Amino acid sequence: MNAIPSSMRANVRLKRGKEKPILRGHPWVFSGAIASLDREVEPGTGCAVCDAGGTILGHGYYNPHASIAVRMLTRGNTLFTGELLRRRLEKAAASRASILADDTSACRLVNSEGDFIPGLIVDRYGDGLCIQITTAGMERWREAVLSHLDALIKPSFVYERSDAEERAREQCEPRNRCGPVQGRIPAPLHVLENGIRYLVDLAAGQKTGMFLDQRENRRLFRHYAAERVVADCFAYTGGFSLNALAGGARAVRSIDASVRALDWAKENRRLNGYAAPDADFVDADVFDFLRNCTDRYSMVVLDPPKFARSSRDVPKACRGYKDINLVSMRNMEPGGILFTFSCSQAIDTKLFRQVVFAAAADSGRDVQLLHVLSQPPDHPVNVSHREGEYLKGLVLRVL
Measured CA to CA, the distance from residue 80 to residue 45 in angstroms comes to 12
Measured CA to CA, the distance from residue 171 to residue 335 in angstroms comes to 51
Q: For residue 331, which of 370, 355, 298, 368 has the smallest C-alpha distance?
A: 298
Q: Sign of dihedral through CA atoms 136, 138, 142, 144?
A: positive
Active-site residue, from 47, 50, 130, 343: 343
Residues with Cβ within 8 Å of residue 228, at least 6 apart in sequence: 244, 249, 250, 297, 298, 299, 336, 337
DSSP assignment string, 126-166: TTEEEEEE-SHHHHTTHHHHHHHHHHHH--SEEEEEE--TH
**Cα 232–236–239 angle (5° rounding)?**
65
In the annotation, is 343 catalytic?
yes
Q: Which residues of 177-199 are buried (b: 16+ CB within 10 A; e: fewer)?
A: beeebeeebeeebebbbeebebb
Residues that are catalytic = 343
